[in-house]
C-alpha cells in the first residue's frame, strides 16, 4: 500500500511538472498562405486600403485595428499609403473572418497500474518444544511486485476554428478608364487552430504572409509562427530588444 501511494504521488508530481513546462512554451500557430500576382505588380506601390467584408465600414474599430497590422506589413514591403483615390495606383480590399467552432473526438488508452505478483517472501516464527513434541507459530510476509495490469479506453475532444484573411489588389488606372475591377494581385492567408480569438491570431497571420505580398508563391505555403517571433513584433509595432 505504501509503495502504491508513493508511486501515485510521484506520477502526480511528474504530470504537474510536464503541464507547467508546457504552459511556459509560447503558443504556435500554423499558417497557410497563397499569393498570386501579375507581371507588373511590383511597379504599383501606392495604395488605398478598404474593407472587403460586407456591411463593414472603414471607421469600424475592428477594421481599423486589423488594417493597422496590414499597413505595417505593406510598409515593410515598400508600399506607400496614398492620401486619396487619385494618388493611388492600386485599391486594396481587406476581407477576414473566423468559422464556427468544430468539435473533434479521439480515443486513447491509459495504462492501469497495480500488483502483478510477488518477488519473494520472508518468514518469521517461534519453535516451542516439550519432551518429544514441538509446536511452531510464525508469520510469512510476501513482497509484492507492481506493473501495468491492463489498459483503459478513454475518449477526448478538442475544438478548432478556421481563420482567414484575403487581400485583393485592383488597378486604379483601369478603373478610372473603364470602370471595371482589374486584379493586380491577391494574397490569401488561412489558419486552423484552437484559438477562437481572431484579434489574437490576426497579427500572426499577417506576419506569416507579409513577405509574400504582391508576389507569386506558385503554390500554397505553410509556415509556423509563435507570438514571440520578430515578424509578429514588427506587425504589432512592438519594438524588438
The per-residue pLDDT for range 21-37, each reduced to its tens digit, is 444 567 899 999 999 99
Report the number of distinct structural domains present in the chain: 1
Chain mean pLDDT for the chain: 86
Q: Tell me whether residue 138 is in a domain.
A: no
The CA distance from 165 to 191, in Å, is 9
pLDDT tens readout for residues 117-151: 777 777 666 666 666 666 666 677 778 888 888 88
**CA angle 141–143–148, rounded 5-degree value:** 145
Closest by CA position to 33, among listed 168, 217, 201, 163: 217
pLDDT of residue 94: 97
* In-domain check, residue 19: no
**Domain region containing 177:** 30-101+162-236
Q: For residue 43, what is the domain's CATH number?
A: 3.30.160.670
Task: Tell me the pLDDT of the chain (241 aa) as tens digits.
Answer: 444 444 444 444 444 544 444 445 678 999 999 999 999 998 999 999 999 999 999 999 999 999 999 999 999 999 999 999 999 999 999 999 999 999 999 898 988 888 887 777 776 666 666 666 666 666 777 788 888 888 899 999 999 999 999 999 999 999 999 989 899 999 999 999 999 999 999 999 999 999 999 999 999 999 999 999 999 999 999 876 6
Q: Is residue 95 part of a domain?
A: yes
Domain-embedded: residue 135: no
Task: Assess if residue 75 is contained within a domain.
Answer: yes
Q: How far apart are CA 58 and CA 71, in angstroms?
A: 14
124 domain-assigned: no
168: three-class secondary structure by DSSP: strand
Q: Is residue 22 assigned to a domain?
A: no
Amino acid at each position: 500500500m505504501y509503495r502504491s501511494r508513493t508511486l501515485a504521488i510521484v506520477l502526480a508530481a511528474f504530470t504537474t511538472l510536464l503541464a507547467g513546462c508546457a504552459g511556459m512554451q509560447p503558443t504556435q500557430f500554423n499558417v497557410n498562405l497563397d499569393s498570386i500576382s501579375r507581371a507588373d505588380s511590383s511597379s504599383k506601390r501606392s495604395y488605398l486600403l478598404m474593407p472587403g467584408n460586407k456591411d463593414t465600414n472603414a471607421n469600424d474599430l475592428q477594421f481599423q485595428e486589423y488594417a493597422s497590422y496590414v499597413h505595417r506589413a505593406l510598409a515593410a514591403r515598400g508600399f506607400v499609403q496614398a492620401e486619396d483615390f487619385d494618388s493611388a495606383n492600386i485599391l486594396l480590399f481587406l476581407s477576414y473572418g473566423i468559422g464556427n467552432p468544430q468539435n473533434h473526438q479521439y480515443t486513447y488508452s491509459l495504462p492501469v497500474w497495480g500488483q502483478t505478483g510477488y518477488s519473494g517472501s520472508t518468514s518469521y516464527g517461534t519453535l516451542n518444544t516439550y519432551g518429544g513434541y514441538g509446536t511452531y507459530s510464525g508469520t510469512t510476509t510476501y513482497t509484492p511486485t507492481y506493473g501495468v495490469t491492463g489498459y483503459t479506453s478513454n475518449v477526448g475532444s478538442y475544438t478548432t476554428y478556421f481563420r482567414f484573411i484575403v487581400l485583393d489588389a485592383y488597378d486604379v488606372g483601369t478603373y478610372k478608364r473603364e470602370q471595371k475591377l482589374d486584379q493586380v494581385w491577391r494574397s490569401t492567408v488561412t489558419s486552423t487552430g484552437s484559438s477562437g480569438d481572431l484579434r489574437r491570431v490576426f497579427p500572426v497571420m499577417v506576419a506569416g504572409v507579409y513577405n509574400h505580398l504582391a508576389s507569386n508563391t506558385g503554390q500554397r505555403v505553410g509556415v509556423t509562427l509563435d507570438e514571440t517571433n520578430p515578424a509578429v513584433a514588427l506587425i504589432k509595432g512592438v519594438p524588438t530588444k
